[in-house]
Structure formats: C-alpha cells, structure tokens
A and B are shown apart, each in its own frame.
Chain A
C-alpha cells in the first residue's frame, strides 16, 4: 500500500465519519460544523486528484460562504439554544433503506463499467490545469455559454434571495 493510498483512506474515513455526523447530529450548529469538516476533507480529496484550483475554491466557496450562511440561518431560526423533540421523522428506517439501496445500486452499476479499476496516467510535465480551465471556461468552442448562464443564475439567485428573505413591513 503506497503512502497516497493510506492518505486517501484516512481522509475518506474522515469525510464519511463527518458526513454521518452531519445527518445525525441533534444540534444543528454542530451539524453545520461537521459539514465544514466534511467539506474540508473533500477539498483534500481534490488535492489528491491534482485539482488544486478546485480544492482551494472548495474552501473559499463552501467553508467561507455556504457554511457561514448555514450557521447564520440556523441562528436566525431558533427560539432558544436547546434542541427538543426528535430530529428525524418517524420512518427514518425507510430513508436509511433507500439510501443504502442507492449506494448498493450505484456501486453495482459502476463495477460493471470497464474503467472502474483504472489507474490515472501521470500528468504531462509542465502541465498547467489552471490556464487550461480558464480557457475552457471562456472559449466559444468550449463552455462559455454554460459559464455565462451560471453567472445569470447567480444574479437571479441573489435578487431572489434578497426578495424572499426581505421583511416587508
């Protein structure tokens, strides 16, 4: 077992453990903080995949913005600091069954695919994924249209979120 594999296993166990805590923690602020640690682990996974830009953007966008937004929302929608009542609905075992079935089904589907156990080729020397990614995002032959649509989507979400959350008095 190589060092990279050991690191992967440790990080994967960390991600899955924090993920389970996200969906089971009683205290919602704790759930949001466990989400932060999950996302941090996922950022490490991206770094293992040589996707530096995606890893750093993961920290900036998810931890710096989305997790903070979640914590704010939790604090704005609570009458007191205590949590009472069950956190899960009555047929939680059905949800667990469906989730387990989805996992088994996905793994079953994937293991029939030819590239399932494939290994990655070494990166070409002097390979700059960032400039390639930048060109792919703005070149007309590649993904400029989805990129622009995504920015319009963000603007619409900005306006929509402000309108929905605005307290009309």
Chain B
C-alpha cells in the first residue's frame, strides 16, 4: 500500500512548481498555467484525504468536483481578460500592463 505521505508530498511539490510559474513567468497565459498546476495539487490532496479517511463520507470528492467548476470559471474569465487586454494594449506581458502606475 502507498502511505498517504507520498500523495501529500507529490501535491506539495506540484503546488511549489505551480507557484514558481505564477511568480516568475512574464506571460499572463503562462501565469494562468501555473495557477492550474496549483489547483491540481489541491485536488490531489482532497481526493487523497477522501481515500485515506472514511470512504463513505464523500466530502473530499465533492470538494474536488466544486474545485473543477471553480477552475473552469477561473480559466474562462482569466483568458477572456487576457484576450481583452491583448486587444487594447497589444501585449500579454504582465509587466507591461502598468496603466495604474505613473
């Protein structure tokens, strides 16, 4: 059997990789890709907690289903914002979108 620690460490590592992507990438779409990795890490945790505690209590799976819905919403609005910003400012580099900074 696999101890739960393996899943938790995998999730933590994936979360760290995603966070690195969010913090360092310049392209806004790449930042959203990093957010995807972080959300997946959270989902691995939720499902592993379901499996390793009482399997008759479905909370872990329900939470991960809701995370799916939230991710879909986040990606669609996020990418719509990126495309809208690209139309107006002709760039997708996060640092160049500094209209509020004078």
Contact = CB atoms under 8 A, between A and B. Distances in A.
Interface residues of A, number: 90
Interface string B1-21: 111111111101111111111
| Majority-rule SS of B interface residues | helix
A74 B87 CA distance: 13
Interface in A134-169: 136-137, 142-143, 146-147, 150-151, 153-154, 156-158, 160-162, 164-165, 167
Contacts, number: 249
B10 A49 contact: no
B97 interface: no
A125 interface: no
| Majority-rule SS of A interface residues | helix
Interface string B52-63: 110110110110
Contacts of B29: 28, 70, 73-74, 77
29 contacts: A8-B2, A16-B10, A16-B17, A28-B30, A31-B30, A31-B33, A38-B14, A38-B37, A42-B14, A49-B7, A49-B48, A77-B82, A88-B24, A91-B24, A92-B23, A95-B24, A99-B16, A99-B23, A102-B12, A102-B15, A103-B15, A110-B12, A116-B8, A119-B4, A132-B56, A137-B65, A146-B62, A150-B70, A154-B69
Interface of B: 1-10, 12-21, 23-27, 29-30, 32-34, 36-37, 40, 43-44, 47-48, 50-53, 55-56, 58-59, 61-62, 64-66, 68-77, 79-84, 86-87, 92, 95
